[in-house]
Structure 1
């Protein structure tokens, strides 16, 4: 059975730590996304898919004239709303 909880829900339940969310955002922004991101809890998330699935993040991150500081909150929102796989 697929876990339908979002990263944000897992964070609120203390399953995923704040530092892991920050690290996943940085991994995406640094281009380290060839493999699913793995959280210590065993959850994994395809960061590219998470950002592409989030309308605001997809549009904003794709802009060439936007810097990392402006992209970061959009990437974070996409990751928080994503539903990771367990295991």
Structure 2
């Protein structure tokens, strides 16, 4: 699949699993300092950019509503474009 695919598209083709996406969400919620997160099968995701490009997740991270934070961060990751390398 082309390197401009979203994480969601890679999930549909089984290049990325739900567990790998959940691990990326956990990484964001633990510490958003990672710019080169190893997602799966050689795919790397810039978690900082994923959040920066998704305003709702930025806003969610400022709340105390844990399920909302998790869902918005997951959405940001699903919409992000990882790179193969």
TM-score (norm 2): 0.88
Cα distance per residue 1:26-53 (max 9 Å; x no partner) = 0100006334110231010111110110
Structure 1 spans left out of the alignment, 5+ residues: none
Consecutive unaligned residues of structure 2, counting only runs of 5 or more, are none
What is the match of residue 48 of structure 1?
Answer: 48
Deviation at 1:18, TM superposition (A): 0.7
8 Å contact from structure 2 (residues 3, 83) kept in 1 = yes
The aligned residue for residue 58 of structure 1 is 58
> d(CA) in 1 for partners of 2:52 and 2:14?
26
The runs of 4+ residues in structure 1 deviating greater than 6 Å are none
CA-atom RMSD in angstroms: 1.6
